[in-house]
Amino acid sequence: MFYYICGIMRQIDEIGEDRIMPLIKERKIMSLMLSFLNSWSDSMDDDALIVGARALSLIIDTEDFQTYKEAYIGDEDRQVLVDMGEEENWLEEIVDDDDVRRNSRPLMDLVRESRRRQKDI
């Protein structure tokens, strides 16, 4: 699934964000991906985790996501993002590589934003 979504998101300009993002929002793909990665990361190899992080980052980096963020992620998803960013969790481990860190920047920014929101509550 991650490879497929990553492939689609890499071609979003050609396909059209207006065709893809409503489906991702409607089907709660972002929530499903976050939940799956958080639950099964121990059983996944680094390549699959990297592709998952990249797919999430490509979704986060879209104009529609930035405009309607709350429609894509809820409070439960924010908690998953906070958990993902904890030390010794899969996300912190894979972003040791500079290329992966650069490609995962939107996801890492969302993790940091979720941490700040959690502290403010």
Write the DSSP string, 30-94: HHHHHHHHHHHGGGS-HHHHHHHHHHHHHHHTSHHHHHSHHHH--HHHHHHHHHHTSTTSHHHHH
- pLDDT value of residue 82: 92
Centre a 10 Å sphere on the Cβ of residue 33 and count the other Cβ atoms it contains.
21
Domain that residue 16 falls in:
2-120
Average pLDDT on 66-89 reads 91
State the total domains in the chain: 1
Q: Is the pTM of this model over 0.85?
A: yes
Contact of 41 with 49, CB cutoff 8 Å = yes
Q: Tell me the residue length of the chain.
A: 121
- pLDDT value of residue 89: 86
